[in-house]
Chains A and B, each alone.
Chain A
Amino acid sequence: MTETRLAIVLVRKVYRLFLYGYAREYRIAFGPAMEQTFVTVCVQTFTHRGAIAALRTALAELLDTARVALQQRFESWARQVGRMGSGGTHGQSPNGRRDPLNGSWRESVGQALADTRHAFRSVAKRPGYSAVVLATIAIGVGATTAIFSVVDTVMMRPLPYRDPDGLFDLWNYIPDKDLLYGAHSLQAARQWREADHIFEQVELYDTEAFIVQGSGDPELISGSKVSVGLMPMLGVAPQIGRGFVPREAERGSERVVIISDGLWKRRFGSDTSVVGQSLRLGTENHTVIGVMPASFRFPSARVQLWVPVTAEPGVGRALYQALARMKTGISLQQAQEEADRIALRLQESHPRDAGWYIRLRSHNDLRVERRNRVALWVLLGAVGFVLLIACANIANLSLSVAMSRQHEMAIRAALGAGRFRIARHMLIENLGLCLVGGGLGVLLANWGLPLILRFAPSDLTFMTGADISIDRRVLAFALLLSTASGVLSGLIPAIRGSRADKSGALCAAARRLTSTREHHRMRGALVVLEVGLSLVLLIGAALMVNSFVRLNRVDLGFRTDDLLTFYVNPETSRYPTASVQDVFYDQVAERIAALPGVEGVTMADGLPPSGGGISFGVTPQAEGHEPPVTRPDFVMPSARVSENYFEVMDIALREGRPFEPADSERDVMIVSETMVQMFWGAESPIGKRFRLGTESPWITVVGVAADVKQFGPVDPFGDMEFYRPLANTNWDGRAIAVRAPDAMALLPAVKQLVWQLDDRLPVTRINLMEDLLAESIAQPRFLLLLVTSFAIIAVTLAGIGMYGVISYSVSQRERELGIRMALGAQRGTVRRLVLKQGMSLAVVGTLLGLLGAYGMTKFLDTLLFDVEPTDPVTFATVAVGLIVAALFACYVPAHRATKVDPMVALRGE
């Protein structure tokens, strides 16, 4: 019961705070009734529909109250301006000069210039205040600008193609599996091209890895096969040479290649006579016919060369992605309907393709991975909060300055300055400061951006490339931001300050008794806002720290240090059979193992954190058991590994034996512990049989291995994997892992050994396992670093704000405190009095912040690992921490209050 009463008292307090948004007369007339109604609504909702509903209702009520307050304020302001503009009795100020809105244009400009001059002079007169405002706004605008430049480049800036919004990918779509993939045959593409009333053009592309030979080490390079019309459709021409011509798409024509700007610089030393030179891709020579400009990164920044799609033998089965340019004036819906009709027609002619549809998606959607998209929005939101807090701080500072300048304003008013003019003067002051601060902020952003990008996940800009910089768009944004901050933080002080009471303010004693209270309330509200916003940020940061710690604590199931990994990809043309490949790989392994310091060498078709193979659409089953899952989209990861894999990787074998050479001829497997749980329960699986589906052969289990996170700490397959022998399989390349202390130092020797066996073989994806794992959590780390920094900035700003308000209030109350102490108040009592004032602001801010965080952290859901976005422990810890920090911020002024000398304070009057 007492808790309920406490809650009611609290919501009442919060609501009262919101009521200060209204004009005084309105508040007096309706405030108590509104407050009573609000409390009744909350209590009734709580009684009938529970706490969550009550919370939601309270929030909606508060928002509505704030909205109406704003609306009323705006209306009254508009009325005032209207009245001034229409002349009337208010148009003429006592000194005979007309008010600006009524005056001639020339006169207004002259006044504005005079105001600006005056503003600069008064800013220069208060260097301390000006420096704090400049620093605050620079931090706010700087952080926001830096993040905006990232968001802008990655997500918003149009792709560097002609009319990029008209480009749509044609995805094959299987509704029952909710699967999107791009796989169009040349034949299907012809059908799409016939739909020329919808599509201006339809082109195909695909990515493929090429082994580049010739001078220098052999390299594995990402390339793309594109249909001849693709580059013209994108509206990009080579910077050197020419594009593809239709004849080059015919089978048997001369092999040609267009290379990227990067490859041209690296491989050809920017040689302008590159056209006509030869580039050996795999086993065939290609003639270079052009070099694309550096900005061309299709379909992604990784791709460095392009070859034409040619009509291959066995027409119709080679599959490509399709990109279309929609005709102008056609809506997406019209195009989608037409695409559905064509898909239906295609299915009728090819019954075995039944069950799929076509989805049109803007090519823009591909540019950033969903997780990164969410992360960027979260970051932008976080810096937005920092900026708001900065604005609140500046508003706060200018309010106190406005207080101390009330005398000056009163004199100006008495001498005939209109209210509008005084307000404008103060607004110009703030605006000027914020614009200069914004400029500093841009410098800060320019300096901080490389730092931010150093921690950014490398796949963030895979499509747009890495030219994130402060450019004209970003500068315009910063200007807008600074102006908005200036207006936002200057409006309240301007309105307040201009309300100078001519007679009252001239009398110093009256000043303290009249408007101090109201000013103080406004400043209190700003501090509450700051505390609330910084709490939201802090909670977000704490959740991420929590999640990151858990991510790092995940047991990956193998030893990650001293492990060098790389891939070799022998071409099937030169290594046609599994046995030829086996011989080659065995030699590689033997020679590397003989190097000094090497503890072990092992191979697999794939290594963590990118994993091996995945079997799609399986209905796995243990012999004698029903299949535990029959979902059509069920997938099972698996890896092909050599005999010493478990030993070298240091993966514990729980039962049974590792693979042995003779296993290459047998159908055997080793399964993970989680898999045993799922398929055999408590039984031992050793010697039992397993199959992936009714069509698949039975495989005998020979061992049980500890769970391994094959796909990094966030294993989407939940530790379920099995291993098969690697020997006697014909895979496209193998991963080789070398266990050795200081493994990276061995790399040159390892490469030499491979090239001694075959000097045309590229050694690719060379990494230390620890670096790979660090990269796999680069995105959470990036987010964590930035959000935490913003939260720290936010709390610091809020702390400064709170300190400012409380110390100002103490200085204003010096006389009162002096009287109290003269009348016998103890130092402790005075300290408590001041602390209580600060802490009530902190507590209300914290409560609002908790509400806000509860509503907002749900956006973090997809970004958190093993942590609930509304984790009560995090919420509680951070809230308590913030209150303690607030206590510190209040303690200094509170302590100073106890040092007030009653005699001095009283004599001051």
Chain B
Amino acid sequence: MSSDQAQVQSPLPLSVPFFYILLALQDADRHGYAIINEVAERTDGAVRLRTGTLYNAVRRMLGQGLIEEVSERPDPAIDDERRRYYRTTEAGRRVFRAEATRLRQMLSHAGEAAVMASVVGNEPTTE
């Protein structure tokens, strides 16, 4: 696996799935469907991750150490053993903050140019 190599490289800018998966895992550990749901809710349905895309991203993010699989599981009564839960690592949190900062800077540059005034007004809350 080329994970060691990948970690050294800067992961920024994040791809859309990476960004939103990290976003969904900011406040809680979630399984695949919960991530899809959380992202859809946070973006009012604008971003809808598909299963194939999600797990492809998850594999890479695991490899880059941005997220990790959670070994402790909820009460088996409400759980399904096929589910896998993920959480962000410290590195993932750092990368996410850096990406959010980078995006905010870009938006403010656009704002300075005034052309994007109306767009910047709708800036999504990233934290």
Contact = CB atoms under 8 A, between A and B. Distances in A.
Nearest to B32: A37
Nearest to B86: A33
Interface in B12-71: 31-33, 36-37, 50-56, 58-59
Contacts of A44: 33, 37
B84 interface: yes
A457 B107 CA distance: 59
Contacts of B32: 33-34, 36-37
Contacts of A61: 50-52
A35 B53 contact: no
A507 to B, nearest CB: 31
In this complex, the member of A34, A60, A67, A72 whose beta carbon has the largest number of chain B beta carbons within 10 angstroms is A34
Nearest to B62: A29
Contacts of A36: 32-33, 80, 82-83
Contacts of A35: 82
A44 B51 CA distance: 14
Contacts of B56: 68, 71-72
Interface string A52-89: 00000000110011111101100000000000000000
B2 to A, nearest CB: 9
Interface string B60-103: 00000000000000000000101110000000000000000000
A187 interface: no
Nearest to A39: B33
A68 B53 contact: yes
Contacts of A634: none
B84 A65 contact: no
Counting chain B residues whose Cβ lies within 8 A of the other chain, the interface size class is: 10 to 19
Contacts of B37: 44
B52 A41 contact: no
A67 B52 contact: yes
A354 B36 CA distance: 57
Contacts of A30: 55, 58-59, 84
B92 to A, nearest CB: 18
A29 B59 CA distance: 9
A36 B58 CA distance: 15
Interface string A7-31: 0000000000000000000100110
A38 interface: yes
Given A36-B33, A71-B56, A41 B82 contact: no
Contacts of A34: 32, 51-52, 55
Secondary structure class of chain A's binding surface, majority of residues: helix
A679 B50 CA distance: 57
Contact of A64 (B31, B33, B50, B80): B50
Given A61-B52, A64-B53, A32 B58 contact: no
A73 to B, nearest CB: 12
B52 A33 contact: no
A60 B50 contact: yes
A65 B51 CA distance: 7
Nearest to A38: B51
B53 A37 contact: no
Nearest to A40: B33
A64 B51 contact: yes
A488 B51 CA distance: 26
A41 to B, nearest CB: 6
In this complex, the member of A33, A35, A36, A65 whose beta carbon has the largest number of chain B beta carbons within 10 angstroms is A33
Nearest to B49: A64
A26 B59 contact: yes
A41 B51 contact: yes
A66 B52 contact: yes
B59 A33 contact: no
Given A30-B59, A36-B32, A40-B33, A64 B82 contact: no
B55 A33 contact: yes
B33 A37 contact: yes
A65 B52 contact: yes
Given A30-B59, A36-B83, A41 B36 contact: yes
Contacts of B50: 60-61, 64-65
A259 B54 CA distance: 68
In this complex, the member of B50, B52, B53, B80 whose beta carbon has the largest number of chain A beta carbons within 10 angstroms is B52
A60 B51 CA distance: 10
A45 B43 CA distance: 17
Interface in A595-614: none
In this complex, the member of A26, A37, A72 whose beta carbon has the largest number of chain B beta carbons within 10 angstroms is A37
B51 A37 contact: yes
In this complex, the member of A38, A44, A71 whose beta carbon has the largest number of chain B beta carbons within 10 angstroms is A38
B68 to A, nearest CB: 14
Contacts of B82: 32-33, 35-36
Contact of B52 (A29, A40, A64): A64
A29 to B, nearest CB: 7
A30 B82 CA distance: 9
Contacts of A29: 59
A64 B54 CA distance: 10
A176 to B, nearest CB: 35
Interface in A698-751: none
A36 B59 CA distance: 17
A455 to B, nearest CB: 44
A61 B36 CA distance: 12
A44 B32 CA distance: 14
A41 B33 contact: yes
A343 to B, nearest CB: 34
Contacts of A64: 50-53
Nearest to B81: A32
B31 A33 contact: yes
Contacts of A66: 52
A32 B31 CA distance: 12
Given A30-B58, A37-B36, A68 B84 contact: no
Nearest to A21: B52
B33 to A, nearest CB: 4
Contacts of A72: 56
A55 to B, nearest CB: 15
Contact of A33 (B36, B53, B83): B83
A312 to B, nearest CB: 56
A60 B52 CA distance: 10
Contacts of B53: 64, 68
Nearest to A43: B33
Contacts of A37: 31-33, 36, 51, 54-55
A34 to B, nearest CB: 5
A64 to B, nearest CB: 3
A69 B51 CA distance: 12
A72 B84 CA distance: 21
A68 B52 contact: yes
A34 B37 CA distance: 14
Contacts of A68: 52-53, 55-56
Interface string A317-338: 0000000000000000000000
A69 B54 CA distance: 12
A66 B50 CA distance: 11
A104 B84 CA distance: 49
Interface in A636-655: none
Interchain residue pairs A-B with the least CB separation, the first 8: A64-B50, A65-B52, A68-B52, A37-B32, A64-B52, A36-B82, A40-B33, A32-B82
30 contacts: A26-B59, A29-B59, A30-B55, A30-B84, A33-B55, A33-B83, A33-B84, A34-B32, A34-B51, A34-B52, A34-B55, A35-B82, A36-B80, A37-B33, A37-B36, A37-B54, A38-B51, A40-B33, A41-B33, A41-B36, A44-B33, A44-B37, A61-B50, A61-B51, A61-B52, A64-B50, A64-B52, A67-B52, A69-B52, A71-B56
Given A41-B51, A64-B53, 13 more contacts: A30-B55, A32-B82, A33-B31, A33-B55, A35-B82, A37-B51, A61-B51, A64-B50, A64-B51, A64-B52, A65-B50, A65-B51, A68-B56
Interface of A: 26, 29-30, 32-38, 40-41, 44, 60-61, 64-69, 71-72
Interface of B: 31-33, 36-37, 50-56, 58-59, 80, 82-84
